[in-house]
Chains A and B, each alone.
Chain A
Amino acid sequence: MNNSAEEKDIREDIAWAQINKDVMKSLESPRPIYWVMFAGALAMLLVGVGCEIYQYQVGLGVANFSNPHVWGLYIATFIFWIGMSHSGTLLSAILHLMHADWRKPIYRFAEAMTTFSLMTAGLFVAVHLGRVWNIYWAIPYPNDRGIWPNFQSPLLWDAMAIFTYLTSSIIFLYIGSIPDLAICRDNTTGWRKKLYTMLSLGWMGTDRQWRNFRKTYLLIACFLIPLAVSVHSIVASDFAMSQQPGWHITSFPPYFVAGALYSGCAAIITLFIILRYTFRFEEYMTLPILDKTARLTFAIAMVWTYLNLIEYASVWYGHDMYSKEILIQKATGPYAPFWWAMNFCGSVVPFLLAFKSLRRHIPTMMVASLLLNLGMWLERWMIVAPTYSHGYYPYTWDHDQWPSFVQWGIVFGSFGWFGLLFMGFCKIIPSVSMYEVKEMVYHRTLERRKETEWKGEKA
């Protein structure tokens, strides 16, 4: 093991008390810049709310929908946000099962990102409906008419799956934070102390509590992984279970899951850089960890690229002329610039992550991660729009639809909503998991000690 400071994921000699202090500092009353950003996010949200009010009153026609272009940015962005939510699961659950302890300083905010992405995605389901006020009909509740929702519909599976995923995510985030909330309880006063006392459920760190905690965390992680895969596969089923050309593709579920992990990882890099700078977490969110995250992102980018290209290959092999024409339409039709941008951002930009020097260069990583997410958003749009533009029925061809300002406004507003939620989270729940970082330092100290002893014996 290379002992130079550059290669270590974390310094072994960080005092545990120092960890508490550094992270608790991030929960202090915010500086003015925080309020400026908060106001900015709120303004974005209000733009979205205004557009939705207009649309609610006049009808979905103002979003520039038409026959046959009945879906647009709402569905595309919905899938984008659900995709982004896979970051937390990947980092929290999958890497936990693989004992990759470099995830310990960064998984907490990733888990929070999961929860808030799901909450944002839920907004789009509402915004997309023609009669939003009846959205509760999609919930299977007993009623005097004896009517149930249609369980055969993939949109309904979405409702159930997202509900399950949101619930499980909130539970996972909360339960995983209990020891940290106990630390917060012990180090705050006033209303905060009351809040943390309530939230930490009287956690004392006894061996009985830790024993049960470890088991619970592991079990929920084991459930969360198949859940995450199934949720995004179900969202992919909205397209895969339909008959339309360009959608009825068997590789859609894994393709979507790969895209989700991809955009989640890219978002982790973005937020990593922001949090590292804002809260001065350089000791914890170190460059080697950024390096590892970037490598993971590159690997997933290659998986996504493969699934993307193999879809084109299967179209080329098949004799289904409708699918062939849709692919040609994507590459040469009115959506061509976006489709090519998607391919560039999704398959070419990740090569920046292949170079060690670039992986540790913060500005490059920031730009790269934003471009990767742009590519993923474009991918979702390019799945939704071209199929309507060139479906089965020739009478409906060559009639293109571009989203109106209402659609763009609501998409824009969703980022503000996510920002508000995340900023609130950063000030209430510690965004770095203190107890897990202590564990990381502890285990590395033990390893170092063993190594020194071993070297001592050899000598």
Chain B
Amino acid sequence: MSVTSLVEFWPQKRVTHPNDDPQGLLAHKEYKWAMAIDLDTCTGCNACTTACYAENNLPVVGKTKFEHGQQMHWLRIERYWDEEDREFPEQGAKFLPMMCQQCEAAPCETVCPVGATNHTPDGLNSQVYNRCIGSRYCSANCPFKVRYFNWYDYSDDKAEAFAWPSPLEQQLNPDITVRSKGVMEKCTFCVQRLYTAKNKARSEGRLVKDGEVTTACAQACPTSAITFGNLLDPESAVHKMWQTQQVDIAKDEQHKTDALRGYRIFEELRPYPSVMYMERLREADV
């Protein structure tokens, strides 16, 4: 059985390294989910973070644990201050929404001892909660530190850290689990929404159209700073944005004009992230 299935599925499953794939994404046939985030438009309002909490059943850990660094936000708004020559310090604030970059050559995937984190055919980095034994090597290896570990039992109603005392459990999203202690979790590009959308499209015999599905953070953003879509679909907004910015997913160094704002974080480390950021130009030397 194993040898026949191996021979049959080998061409499909052979995972190509992005470096060997100059046309881009041989490994992904129908979908490659990606994002583009415009830092110029981002106001740092945190609506995306709140939406993520609501959509993905994230526990609110409280002030003490948050300050200790045991927060559970899959999407965090980072504030950076540029204090040079400012009349008021707040003028130099910059915001960066950081979530799992769904890297094509993710450093976290290779190091999980039990194989709880893998690469899906959609181009997502999957986290399998019920396989995770909590060794935290994935988080150790992540350059972005976007993986969050359940340090306490937020889901057990007898535990001290229980995050949803009545009636808060009414707000939980039934499409996604509530994780127990000892399990690693991270942004999944709202995979539960993608799953539903893909099923619906498949039952109608077509692919998911651009705009038909979006992540909770993109949906909630008041300034439409976050764009989500299928990079393989030439009609999608995300594809067009990546193309305009001349950012190629399979390259570790982009050769493009400086005037273009698009970039990826830690490209030189070669994880090939799927999130493109566009630089903030406000108050910068244009």
Chain A interface residues toward B at CB < 8 A:
58-61, 64-71, 128-132, 134-135, 137-138, 147-150, 152-156, 159, 238, 241-244, 388, 391-393, 395-396, 399, 401
* B133 and A134 within 8 A (CB): yes
Closest to A63 in B: B151
Interface string of B104-127 (1 = CB under 8 A from A): 000100111111000000000000
Contact B134 A60 (CB under 8 A): yes
Q: Is B148 an interface residue (CB 8 A)?
A: yes
B256-281 near A? 1/0 per residue, CB < 8 Å:
00000000001001000000000000
- Say yes or no: is B131 at the interface (Cβ < 8 Å to chain A): yes
| Most A CB within 10 A of own CB, among B98, B135, B180, B184 | B135
Contact (A153, B69) CB under 8 Å given A70-B139, A137-B133, A392-B269: no
Verify A58–B183 contact, CB threshold 8 A.
Answer: no
Given A58-B153, A59-B151, A147:B183 Cβ within 8 A: no
List B contacts of A395 (CB < 8 A): 76, 78, 98, 145
| B149 interface contact, C-beta 8 A | yes
Q: Which 10 interchain pairs have the tightest Cβ spacing?
A: A130-B134, A130-B182, A66-B69, A61-B151, A150-B115, A131-B182, A155-B113, A70-B136, A59-B152, A59-B181
- Count the A-B residue pairs with Cβ separation under 8 angstroms: how many? 142
Interface residues of B in 133-165 (CB under 8 A from A): 133-137, 139-141, 143-145, 147-153, 159-161
Known: A128-B135, A393-B144. A66 touches B113 (CB 8 A): no
Interface string of B215-237 (1 = CB under 8 A from A): 00000000000000000000000
B residues lining the A interface (CB < 8 Å): 65, 68-71, 76, 78, 98, 107, 110-115, 131-137, 139-141, 143-145, 147-153, 159-161, 180-184, 266, 269
Whole-angstrom distance from the CB of B230 to the nearest CB of chain A?
Answer: 28
Q: How far is the CB of B122 from chain A (nearest CB, A)?
A: 20
Q: In the bound complex, do residue A150 and residue B112 qualify as a contact, i.e. CB atoms below 8 Å apart?
A: yes
Nearest-Cβ distance from residue A99 to partner chain B, whole angstroms:
41
Q: Point out the residues of chain A lying under 8 angstroms from B137, CB to CB.
A: 153-155, 238, 242
Instruction: Establish whether residues A391 and B145, one from each chain, have CB atoms under 8 Å apart when the complex forms.
Output: yes
Q: Is the CB of B140 within 8 A of A244?
A: yes
Asked if residues A60 and B114 are in contact (CB atoms below 8 Å), the reply is no
20 further A-B contacts with Cβ under 8 Å, apart from A131-B183, A153-B112, are A59-B159, A59-B161, A60-B151, A60-B181, A60-B182, A66-B70, A67-B139, A130-B133, A131-B132, A131-B181, A147-B131, A148-B115, A150-B114, A152-B111, A243-B269, A391-B143, A392-B143, A392-B269, A395-B78, A399-B69
Q: Is there contact, CB below 8 Å, between A59 and B182?
A: yes
Task: Give Cα A327 to B100, complex, Å.
Answer: 28
Taking a contact as CB atoms under 8 Å apart, the answer to whether A130 and B181 are in contact is: yes
Q: Are A129 and B152 in contact, with the CB atoms below 8 A? A: no
Q: Which residues of A contact B112 (CB under 8 A)?
A: 150, 153
Identity of the chain B residue whose Cβ is nearest the Cβ of A239 in the assembled complex: B140
Main SS at interface, chain B: loop
Question: Quick check: B113 and A153 within 8 Å, CB to CB?
Answer: yes
- Chosen A-B contacts, 11 in total, with CB atoms closer than 8 Å, are A66-B68, A131-B133, A134-B133, A149-B115, A150-B110, A152-B110, A242-B140, A243-B141, A392-B269, A395-B145, A396-B145
Residues on B with C-beta less than 8 A from A388 are 140
- Which of B136, B144, B153 has most A Cβ within 10 Å? B136
Report the Cα distance A391→B71, complex, angstroms: 18
Least Cβ–Cβ distance between A397 and chain B, in angstroms: 10
Tell me the bound Cα distance from A58 to B182 in angstroms. 10
Contact among A64, A71, A156, A392 with B113 in the assembled complex (CB-CB below 8 Å): A156
- Check B269 against A401 for contact (C-beta < 8 Å): no
Which chain A residue lies CB-closest to B145? A68
Q: What is the CB-to-nearest-CB distance from B58 to chain A, in angstroms, rounded to a whole number?
A: 13
For residue A244, which residues in chain B have a CB less than 8 angstroms away from its CB?
140-141, 143
Which of B107, B111, B132 has the largest number of chain A CB atoms within 10 A?
Answer: B111
CA distance A128 to B133 in the complex (A): 10
Give the residue name and chain of the A residue nearest to B181 (CB): A59
Alpha-carbon distance A155/B149, docked complex (angstroms): 18
Determine the distance from Cα of A238 to Cα of B137 in the docked complex, in whole angstroms. 9
Q: Are A154 and B183 in contact (CB under 8 A)?
A: no
Query: What's the least CB distance linking B118 to chain A, in Å?
Result: 9
Collect the chain B residues with CB atoms within 8 Å of residue A69's CB.
69
User: What residue in chain B is nearest A158 (Cβ atoms)?
Assistant: B113
**A150 to B138 alpha-carbon distance, docked (Å):** 12
Complex CA–CA separation, A392 to B141 (angstroms): 10
CB-CB nearest in chain B for A138: B113
CB distance from B282 to the nearest CB of A (A): 21
Inter-chain contact B136/A130, CB cutoff 8 Å:
yes
Q: A132 to B114: give the CA distance in the assembly, Å.
A: 13
**By the criterion CB–CB under 8 Å, are B150 and A130 in contact?**
yes
Q: Is the CB of A392 within 8 A of B183?
A: no
